[in-house]
A = this chain, B = another copy of it.
């Protein structure tokens, strides 16, 4: 089976999940940590080389404070959990804003944990405009932009899997997503099941990859 090298994960639907369980919205984030770890282990098992998690965005930080604190805390915990696996971990986001949690600053340079291996990128206080704005400092004599964006250490994404039913990118790595195939799972992220992942891989293996050609 032809596998994607790099998978992007949009773990959406935490708040809708919480509400559907009679919980308050901010209680939907912590139940997303264990699915993230499960998914990472599955990626390693099948031989995926790189995975990028959409933690939270600059847009997201405009939500009510109790939600913001809850998703920030869940991201800190998720990064901690990943750092106990064999993985090469990088946190990417706007560190110059107060919304970036200080606890994650040590992860903003790629570091290997355990035996290393799979590259894991975790987007924290990531903004598409922050990402693209860096192009202004790019070499004008070059026609390339890929190496000048703020997220340039993250490679092209082959497959994006989004949970929670919405069919949109919501600002996820606009440059790396140019040619990505996009798979949507209707279930909410906290209801993650391994079959979501395997169905997405199966679907991806049947796509004709042309990179725009």
User: Given known contacts A169-B178, A180-B168, A181-B167, is B63 in contact with A213 (CB within 8 Å)?
Assistant: yes
Query: In the complex this chain forms, how many copies of it are found?
Result: 2
The SS class assigned to the A binding surface is loop
Identify which of B133, B177, B210 contacts A143 (C-beta below 8 A).
Answer: B133
Q: A21 at the A/B interface (Cβ < 8 Å)?
A: no
User: Given known contacts A133-B143, A136-B138, A136-B140, is B171 in contact with A60 (CB within 8 Å)?
Assistant: no
Q: Which residues on B sit within 8 Å (CB–CB) of A212?
A: 57, 59-60, 170-171
Listed by A's residue number, 8 A-B pairs whose Cβ atoms lie within 8 Å are A135-B135, A136-B136, A136-B138, A137-B140, A166-B207, A167-B181, A170-B179, A171-B212
Q: Mark A19-53, 1 if CB is under 8 A from B, else 0.
A: 00000000000000000000000000000000000
Output the least CB separation between A2 and chain B (Å).
16
Interface size class of A (residues with CB under 8 A): 35 or more
Q: Are B145 and A213 in contact (CB under 8 A)?
A: no
Identify which of B128, B129, B145, B168 contacts A129 (C-beta below 8 A).
Answer: B145
Output the least CB separation between A75 and chain B (Å).
16
Q: Are A168 and B179 in contact (CB under 8 A)?
A: yes
The closest CB in chain B to the CB of A58 belongs to B212
List the 10 closest A-B pairs by CB distance, nearest first.
Answer: A59-B212, A135-B135, A174-B174, A167-B182, A132-B145, A170-B212, A171-B178, A136-B138, A168-B181, A136-B140
Interface, chain A (partner B; CB < 8 A): 57, 59-60, 62-63, 128-130, 132-133, 135-140, 143-146, 148, 166-171, 174-175, 177-183, 207-208, 210-213
Output the least CB separation between A92 and chain B (Å).
17
- A129-B145, A170-B179, A171-B179 known, 6 other contacts, Cβ within 8 Å: A60-B212, A63-B213, A132-B175, A133-B144, A136-B136, A171-B178
Output the least CB separation between A109 and chain B (Å).
24
